[in-house]
A and B are shown apart, each in its own frame.
Chain A
Amino acid sequence: MLQTNAGNLSPLVSLAGMGVRRQGRWLVRDVDFSIAPGEIVTLIGPNGSGKSTTAKAAIGVFRPDEGRVERRAGLRVGYVPQKLAIDWTMPLTVERLMTLTGPLKGAETEAALAATGIAHLARAEVQHLSGGEFQRALLARAIARKPDLLVLDEPVQGVDFSGEIALYDLIKTIRNRTGCGILLISHDLHVVMAETDTVICLNGHVCCRGTPETVSRSEEYRQLFGVRASETLAFYSHHHDHTHLPDGRVLHADGSITDSCRPDDGHHEQVLPNGRAGPMRIVHAHGPDCACGHDHGPAEGSEAAEARRDV
């Protein structure tokens, strides 16, 4: 069980019925998933849906208040947090940032910086980097330590669109080369999807999950990336059978309202994913706040995405 070679497919981390509670409120509940070596799992969902919380529970930053989180013994984690502000008072070069949590050989540092395209910034102070450069530095730091599990919380924030694709390509390359598992958090479904094995849509609980359609891996699709039109391509089509009301309660397709959304509460017609074969078909009742990432129509998803791109 304690083999560490990439061929060992016992999960790196597995969550069962995991929930985190803060100040009497469940931030996230009933989360089940596992990450195998070489697998890319993507968490998507609106703000406050518990994506970061789930990731932090998975790697042991938060202790779960219910359920179980099991990590493989000696699991080596590389983590890119969502927010990281380095106080101006701390002098820190990119080079020094690389060895923040553990020693590295010079060659390892150089390789990681070269892989993320910032080798020329090794001696720059991190406070002087642009947002995109800083994200690359953080990613370089996380991969340089050769982790078994790479956890990336919105790793492309502040990176321009072409850089975004390059970084996702890099993430895929890292997975292919090292066989590490990757837990990715993103709001940007369209780009992420192509490399992802499993998508988990969170909204305080697991709304739905599945594998992206094979079409997203095709060359044609990749060519569409540079074009705005790609954003209307909802290749991961799934439907929700419930709506989250503003007060946190849940309106189900059958018209009933409950305080939370539990798979076993009898209001769901079909819950489980049906795997790689195709999109999930769960009876549909969408709310405006669902924001699970797929195309809700012209009003919401695509405009938000465009606004992001324009930054």
Chain B
Amino acid sequence: MFDDFFIRALAAGIGLALTVGPLGCFVVWRRMAYFGDTMAHSALLGVALSLLMELNLTLSVFAVATAVSLLLLLLQKRGTLSTDALLGILSHATLAVGLVIVSFMTWVRIDLVGFLFGDILAVSLADVQLVWGGGILVLFAVIRLWRPLVASTVNPELAAAEGLEPEKARLAFMLLMALVIAIAMKIVGILLITSLLIIPAATARRFARSPETMATAASVIGALAVAGGLFGSLKFDTPSGPSIVVAALALFIASLVSKAGTRVADQSGTSQGGRA
């Protein structure tokens, strides 16, 4: 039953889900869903530029996503438009410019749908290695930066006053997001990356008692969604990227339904889940 491509897909997808769990929590806590979307959309510009200038695809996407997030910081400092409006401009502008550049390059045939919605079943061994290598790097960085990241999420001024350098943490967070988007693009696609960040984290919130448990739970729930989505996609012959997101959504809905039961348990004994 397990063809080789399916094992590769499973390995890549689970590796990615484990990586994005903690980052997704920060996206939720910091209310940066739209920001994540914007960075993801800019990935198409990265794809277009990599084809145009014959650059490494992952590097190019990483560079463009980083540039867009830095540009956003710069525009925010000038303070003429709200962050919301700036994100709206950057998000769709980079997507549109990417599409236009691609359409100009009549000499290359690219699988646009593959980039937009991902093609996890086509991942190569090198892709799997990239996911796991990059993922370990990202997770290591997140663990190293954990305290400043959490503290500056709660209150940047508090973090600054007590010597944790929130600006550095923020910059590092943006670089990690750019890296994750570059890695994730092939697997769930530009349009669905943010859902893999947000939905497992939102699901994990129901069960978590601390930022650490929420981050861990988000990773586990993401991995379950990837596995469920891929098996579903195989069984029902549905597109793999969207199937993963649908599986994540199903887990989220299940957590909403089980919420009532959890609340009762919470009230009867706070010791449950209090450790760790």
Residues of A bordering B, CB below 8 Å: 23, 56, 59-61, 77-79, 81, 84, 86-87, 89-93, 96-97, 100-102, 123-125, 145, 151
Give A207 Cβ to nearest chain B Cβ, in Å.
25
Rounded to whole Å, the gap between the CB of B216 and the closest CB of chain A is 12
The CA-CA distance from A92 to B255 in the complex, in Å, is 19
Q: Which residues of A contact B209 (CB under 8 A)?
A: 91, 93, 125
Cα A151 to Cα B151 with chains together (Å): 17
When the two chains form their complex, are residues A87 and B31 in contact, meaning their CB atoms are under 8 A apart? yes
Interface contacts beyond A86-B154, A123-B274, A145-B162: sample of 17 additional A-B pairs, CB < 8 Å, sorted by A: A23-B79, A56-B161, A61-B157, A61-B161, A79-B161, A84-B155, A87-B30, A89-B205, A90-B29, A90-B154, A90-B211, A91-B214, A92-B211, A100-B147, A102-B147, A102-B162, A151-B161
Known contacts A86-B154, A87-B29, A92-B210, A77 near B161 by CB under 8 Å: yes
Give the residue of B28, B159, B211, B270 whose beta carbon is less than 8 angstroms from that of A101. B159
| Minimal beta-carbon separation of A39 from chain B (angstroms) | 19
A179–B147 alpha-carbon span in the complex (Å):
28
Against A, the Cβ 8 Å flags (1 = close, 0 = not) of B18-49 are: 00000000001111000000000000000000
- Take A77-B163, A101-B151, A145-B162 as given contacts and tell me if A91 and B157 are in contact as well, using a CB distance cutoff of 8 Å: no
A-B contacts, CB under 8 A, total: 74
Residue of B nearest to A23 (CB): B79
> How many residues in B have their beta carbons less than 8 Å from beta carbons of A?
29
Is B250 located at the chain interface by the 8 A CB criterion? no
Q: Which of B210-235 contact A (CB under 8 A)?
A: 210-211, 213-214
Question: Across the interface, do A89 and B163 meet the contact criterion of CB distance under 8 Å?
Answer: no
Nearest-CB residue, chain A, relative to B211: A90
- Decide: A91 and B162 in contact? CB cutoff 8 A: no
Residues in A neighbouring B7, C-beta threshold 8 A: none
Tell whether B208 is near chain A: CB-to-CB under 8 Å: yes
Per-residue CB contact flags for chain B residues 145-165 toward chain A (1 = under 8 Å, else 0) read 001001101110111111110
- Complex: how many Å from CA A77 to CA B154? 17
Interface set, chain B 193-211, CB cutoff 8 A to A: 202, 205, 208-211
Q: In the assembly, what is the distance between CA of A201 and CA of B79, in Å?
A: 32
CB pair B154 A92 closer than 8 Å: yes
